[in-house]
Structure 1
Amino acid sequence: MIYNPNHEMVKKEEHSIKRELPPQLNSTPPPKKKIRNDGISTLLTPLSSSPTKIIEESKQKGRRGLGFTFKNFDDETTEWDFDNDPAPIEEEEVRRCPPNNHIEAPLNLDEMREWIKLGLKKKVIDDEIEFCDEDILKEMLNGKTVFDELPQKEMEEARARSNVYETIGQSIFLNRAALKMANIDSVFGRMFTDPKTPNNQRPLVHPDEPFYFADICAGPGGFSFGFTLKGKSDFALQKFLAGTSETFDPYYDVKDLDCDGDIFKSENIDALQNYVNKCTMHNGVHIVMADGRFSVEGQENIQEILSKQLYLCQFLTALSILRPG
């Protein structure tokens, strides 16, 4: 028997090595952990009957309630094919009304007075089928009705996406209305920048006279004469820097009235006519533009019949201040 003074140290090393061995090499297997039956592990097992589909992406929009959808707007599977609806790039064609050779008897004042009908304010448009097809009118109204419950913000965003020219924005002009004027000027042979007589034989504006332009029911801008409502819709000349404000002459109405710029009042129309005649030596203005409107929120389907009085007054005012030719 050989005495080993380091025997005790070797024995300790063997025990330490044995404890450091992996569990599969140890003689005694580690105890199994008891699974808690709390339902969580059951949901994650492939053999369970719990749903295993991927959670769908939330389609929540704005501040709507969770799961709330608008009728007729919950179908988001439709994909728009822009190839079937390309943006027009060709030049616009002016389609004029064909000449009418039918000669009618001249109108008299008594006959025109019979056209005036007095009654209650009309708030129904379904029977306005004298100049349009009834089925087309109903289809249009149904198409507009679906937007009644759509929030204003989403309505504006959808309208911006549907307009292929929306990215143009204001371009180099003050606002989009001026951009429309530039388009009209181009299509109709520079009727604003180089106006000519109907037969295009001579310029409409003489070299020694200014170019008179009237904007009826206008907003902020820079024209020769302006006729608009006072208050929040009034002109803001201090914000218009594209031209001098001295060439702009705002006019509202008869000084003896409320000075509100209401074009519905015949006194205001007559006063504007007299003012234009005085400033133009009874010649009138060269061009008149009218783009008045008012809010029809909640009554979008009948905005045409609500606005017909405004359109009529604008036409009447334009004819009263335009010069011949």
Structure 2
Amino acid sequence: MERRPLVQLHGTPLLSDGGLETTLVFHQGIELPGFAAFDLLQRERGPQLLADYFRSYFALAREAGTGFVMETPTWRANPVWGARLGYDGLELAAANRQAVALLQELRHEEESAARAAGLPVPPIQISGCIGPRGDGYVADQQLSAEEAEQYHRWQIGVLAGSGVDLVSAFTLSAVPEAVGIVRAARREAVPVVISFTVETDGQLPSGQPLGEAIEAVDAATGAAAAYFMLNCAHPSHFAAVLQQGGRWRERIGGLRANASRRSHAELDEAESLDEGDPHDLALLYRELSPLLPNLAVLGGCCGTDRRHVAAIARATLPLLWEGLSRCRASPEGDG
């Protein structure tokens, strides 16, 4: 199956969804042991719940006039977390494939509806979502790049073989695991996106500055990642770091921030959802976007839902479209 082109690499803005797991748990009252949304695929109404969730974001993308990046609900569908939920290797592989198949059906549905209405078919990509081997908020300091490559290659291979357009690794906290994931994706010949999380000081949970981490991954992999993202942190946590400057900012192509300004430790201890202020979050996206010349993918993470992503789209997409228009009008902007 032919992969869809990554139009975001050429500046075309795309939306993504919000916090899938926090939406399911706190807004819909669904139990997700281990925060594992992929387990819903095995429940009676689970696939329908996931389909309705993504349809609501398709509607938002239609309203915004842009395309969409769909993340498979497989952030926890790796061997360590799968085993904790009672999945063996064959069952876990089947769950990853089922997740991709569900999104393929939804994409076909959305594209068919656009054609039937005589509308342009928007770019819709399916990203195979992978997560860290351990806890995303705690750096897995014992994991080497070589171990990470061996560990993550299994899930990346299953997702790549199922027809995803790219794989995206979210909530990474240390460079070695990111390096291993990029190398594994390169071996499986699938584009890969690396998304780091940061603490309130803008540094990775490992203690490494964000800019140094991005540069280190690129140095160790020949800049093989398609681009980088930031997720699972509030924009106020990394704004100062971005304002310091550095060419590494050109490698950041997407933002999926938390709704809450709380630290990871505070969020871990919280018993209720901190939804923050969608308008305030959107304004921060808009303020930071000029610092990220290649920003193209906009979405949310923990605590965000359709309201937050809608506000982000209204506030930020006009700037991204304006930047794309300037790029295309420039003699140097045709690459």
| TM-score bracket, shorter-length normalisation | under 0.3
Choose between structure 1 and 2: higher strand proportion: 2
Structure with bigger gyration radius: 1
Pick 1 or 2: higher relative contact order, CA cutoff 8 A, min separation 6.
2
User: TM-score, normalization: structure 1?
Assistant: 0.25
More helix by share: 2
